[in-house]
Structure 1
Amino acid sequence: MQKFLFLLLTLVLLGPLGIDLYLPAIPAISRGLDSSESVIQSSISLFILVLGLGQLLAGPLVDRYGRRPMAIAGILLYMIGVSVAATSVNAAMFMASRVVQSLGVCCTSVVLFSSVRDRLSGDDAARAFGFLNGTLNIVPALAPLIGGLIAQYYGWRAPFWALLGYTTVTLLLVLAFLPETRPAHTRQVGSLPLRQYWRILSDSNFLIFALVNAGAMGMALTYVSLAPNVLMTTGGLSPLQFSLVFGANGFWIMLMSYIANRIIRKVGRPVCLAAGGVFMLLGGTALYTGIAFLPAQTQLETWVYMLPVASACTGLAFVIGPATSYALEPYSSEAGIASALVGFVQMAGGAGLGLLAMALPMQPKACLGVVMLTAFVLAWSAKRRSKKLKTILTAHS
C-alpha cells in the first residue's frame, strides 16, 4: 500500500507544482511576453477556476473509462500545457496553456481520490487522504525557491521545462505501476450526470463534510493571497525572507499532517474534526486579538501574522482527511463522480469564500480571520454530524 500511495503522490504533486513553481518568475514572464504583471498573475486564478469546474467533467469520465486510462490522459494533457507555456510568445498563448494544464490536473485529481476510495475506507482512507494532503505541502515550501533559482540562472521558460521532465517521469511510473482500481460495480454514465450530481449534493451529510474542505481551502487561498502584502509590502520582509517564512509554514503543515495521521486511529475522525476546528478558532481569535490590543508597530512583526496562520494550518491538517473520507464513504459505486464533487466544492467553495472575505472593507488580517472563523464553524458542524452518523451505524449494527 505504501508503494501505491507514493505513486498517487506523484500525481497529487502536479497541481501545486503547476501553481507554485513559476511564482517567482511572474515578473520575468510578463516582461518576456510583453504583458502586464497582473495578467500573468491572473493565470493562477484561472488555473484554480478551471480545476474546480473541470472536475465535474472528469468525474464521470473516470468512472466510465477507468482510473488508469484517465490518469494517463490527464498527464498527457498536462505535458501539452507545460510545453505550450514554455514556448509561449504572447500572453494569450500562455493563458491557454494554463487552461490545458489545469484540465490535466482535473483528471489526475479525480483519479487519486477515486483510487484511495476504491482501496480504503474509514480511518484508513482518512489517513491516506491526510498523508497525500500533508506531503504535498512540501511543494509550496520548496517550489517557489527552486523555481526562482532555475529562472534566475536559465530564464523564465526553464521552470516549465523542468516541470515537463518531472511529468515525463510521472507518466513512466504510471504506465509501469499504476493498477486499475475501479470496482466492477461502478455505475457508468454516458453524459454529464447532472441528476447524480444533484442527488449527491442534496445529501446533507456529503455537503457538510465537503464544505469542511472548502473552508480549509478558503483559509489557505486567503493566506497565500494576502501573505505578500502583509509580510513584504507592510511587514518589510525581503523576497528571500518571505520565501523562507512561506516555506517554513509548508513544512509545518506537513509535520502536523503526519501527526494527525498517526493519531487518527487512536482518537477517531470526530475528534480530529473537533481538534481541527478548535485550531481554526484559535487562529482567528489570535488575529483579532492582535488587531485589537497590540501596538501598531508590534502588529508589523512576522510572528503576529504567522503564529495564527500556523494554528489554522494545523486545523487544516486535522480536518482534510476525515472530512474527505466521510464525504466519499457512501459512494463506492460512483467514487469518480463523488470525488469530482468533493474537488469542485473544495476548489470553487474555497475560492469563493476567500474572494468574498478579501472583498470586505477590512484590513487583510481581519479578512483572513473571517475565513478562519468560518472554517471553524464548518468543521464543528461536521464534527456534530459525524457523531450522529456513528450513532446511526451503531444502532444498525
Structure 2
Amino acid sequence: MQSKTLLPLLILMVIFSPLAIDIFLPALPVMAKEFSVSLTQMQASITVFILSMGFGQILSGPLADRYGRRPVAIGGILIYGVAAILAAMATNVELLLLSRLAQGLGACAIVVAAFACVRDKYNALQSGAMYSYLNSAICCIPALAPLLGSLLTEKFGWRSNFEFMAIYAAVAGAIIIFSLKESRPQDTVQHKKLVTVARYFPILKHPVFIFHALLVMLAMAIILAYVSSSPAWLMARLGLSQAEFVFWFSINAALNIVACVIAPKCLTKWGARATIGAGMLMLILAGLLMLALLGVNEPLGFMLPVMISSLGFSLLMGACSGQALAPFGDKAGTASALLGFIQMSGAAVIVGLLQMLPINEAEQLTVLMLCTLPVYILWKLPVVKKRITLDAY
C-alpha cells in the first residue's frame, strides 16, 4: 500500500483516541452537576480511559502480531462504538466510568494497529516522521473537538458528545473496513501464548527501547495532567466561561498542529538525538516558567508554560516513538503495544498519584515538567549516549 493511501487511513484510526478525550471536556462541569459528584471525580472519566488504553495494549499488541493489524483495528472500532452508546445512556457515574473503561480498550486496539502499520512500512527515521504527521492530525482534535463538544452540549446536552463518537466509529469504521489492507510482515514473531513475560522481556531489556519509552511516558503524563486539570483550573478556579475555556484550549491545540507539522522536518534535518534534546529543553523551560508564574491567577500564567511544553511534546513524541520501536521489526505489534502500555498506563498512574497530593493543578504540572531535568542530565552522559544510540540516531 502506498504511503499516500495509508496515511489518511492511519489518521482516521489515531483520531479515535483524542476524540474520546477532548470532545466532552467543556461538558465536565455539567456532567458533574447532573451526577452530583465533584469536578475532580468527573476527571476520572479521562484517567480511566487513558489507563484502560494502556493496559489493553498488553493484549492488543500480541493479537495484532498473531491475527494481523486489520482485524484488531476493526474489533477495536466495534468495542469503541458500543461503549460510546453505553456512555450516552449512563444514568450514574459508575456506569459512565465502566463505559469509558471499555471505550479505552477499543481505542487502544485501533492505536496499536495503526502504529504497527507504520513500523511495518517504514524505517526508524521514516517512522519518526510518520508519527509526527499522525501527531499533527491528533493535535487537530483538541483544537476542533472542544468547539464541537461545546456546541453539542449547549444544543443537545452532554450525552450528544458520546453519540457523536458512536457516529464517528460507524463512518470511519466503514471506510477502514473497505480500505485498510493487511500489512503484517510474514516473519512476524508469534508466541503460543498471547500474554507471556517471555514475549516482553527481550524488549524491556533493550536500553534503546526503555529510555525512549520512559521519556514518552513523562511527556504523556504532562499532557494528561494538562488535559484533565485544565477544566478545573480555568473554569472552576479562574471562572472562565465554557467559550473562554474552548478559546484557550484551541489556541494551544493550534500551536500543537504547527509544531507537529514542523517536527518531521526537524527530525529529518537535525536527526533524532538533536530533536529529542530540543524537546527536553522545551519541557524544562516550561517547568521553570510555570514555577515562576504560580502566583499569577490569569489564564496566560497557566497556558503560556503549557504552550511551550506542547512544543517540546511535539518534538519528542515522534522521534522517541520511532527510536523505541526501531529495533523490533520482527515484532512490531508487541513492541508498539508495550510502548503504548508504558506511555498510557504509566502516565495515568503518575497523574493519578500526583492528584492525591495536597498541591494544585499548576503545581502538579510544574513537578512533571521539571522531572525532565534529571532525565536530560542523564541523557547527556557519554555512557548513556553509547547505550541508547542507534545507527540512524
2:133 equivalent among 99, 114, 131: 131
Q: Label 1:386 to 1:141 Cα distance change in 2 as closer, same or farther (>3 A).
A: farther
* Matching residue of 1:183: 185
Alignment of 1:36 onto 2:31: no
Structure 1, residues 57-112: CA drift from partner, whole Å, max 9, x if none? Answer: 11101100000111111111111111222233444433332222111112101101
Structure 1, residues 177-231: CA drift from partner, whole Å, max 9, x if none? Answer: 1111100000112321221212211222211000111111111112223323433
Unaligned runs of 5+ in 2: none
| 8 A Cα contact 2:286 2:308, kept in partner | yes
The total of aligned residue pairs comes to 387
* Matching residue of 2:110: 108
- Provide the C-alpha distance between the structure 2 equivalents of 1:358 and 1:63, rounded to a whole number of angstroms: 36
- TM-score, normalised by the number of residues in structure 1: 0.90
1:312 equivalent among 298, 309, 313: 309
2:293 equivalent among 285, 290, 295: 290
Unaligned runs of 5+ in 1: none
Q: Label 1:51 to 1:155 Cα distance change in 2 as closer, same or farther (>3 A).
A: same
- Provide the C-alpha distance between the structure 2 equivalents of 1:228 and 1:170, rounded to a whole number of angstroms: 29
Structure 1, residues 352-395: CA drift from partner, whole Å, max 9, x if none? Answer: 3323444444443332112112134435645768853687749x
Q: Label 1:155 to 1:60 Cα distance change in 2 as closer, same or farther (>3 A).
A: same
* Matching residue of 1:253: 256
- Provide the C-alpha distance between the structure 2 equivalents of 1:42 and 1:363, rounded to a whole number of angstroms: 16
Alignment of 1:375 onto 2:372: yes
- Provide the C-alpha distance between the structure 2 equivalents of 1:48 and 1:391, rounded to a whole number of angstroms: 30
Structure 1, residues 279-338: CA drift from partner, whole Å, max 9, x if none? Answer: 1111111122334xxxx5xx1232222221111111100010110011100111111110
1:241 equivalent among 233, 239, 244: 244
- TM-score, normalised by the number of residues in structure 2: 0.91
Name the amino acid aligned to 2:88.
A
Q: Which range moves more in the overlay, 193-202 or 333-342?
A: 193-202
Q: Label 1:123 to 1:193 Cα distance change in 2 as closer, same or farther (>3 A).
A: same
2:342 equivalent among 345, 370, 374: 345
* Matching residue of 1:169: 171
* Matching residue of 1:200: 203
- Provide the C-alpha distance between the structure 2 equivalents of 1:44 and 1:119, rounded to a whole number of angstroms: 32
- Provide the C-alpha distance between the structure 1 equivalents of 2:258 and 2:220, rounded to a whole number of angstroms: 18
| 8 A Cα contact 1:52 1:344, kept in partner | yes
Q: Which range moves more in the overlay, 94-103 or 4-13?
A: 94-103
Q: Label 1:379 to 1:54 Cα distance change in 2 as closer, same or farther (>3 A).
A: farther
Name the amino acid aligned to 1:113.
F
SS at match of 1:179: coil
* Matching residue of 1:117: 119
* Matching residue of 1:388: 386
- Provide the C-alpha distance between the structure 2 equivalents of 1:331 and 1:274, rounded to a whole number of angstroms: 23
- Provide the C-alpha distance between the structure 1 equivalents of 2:352 and 2:120, rounded to a whole number of angstroms: 34
* Matching residue of 1:57: 59
* Matching residue of 2:13: 11
1:147 equivalent among 146, 149, 159: 149
Q: What is the Cα-based RMSD across aligned positions, in Å?
A: 2.3
| 8 A Cα contact 1:283 1:308, kept in partner | yes
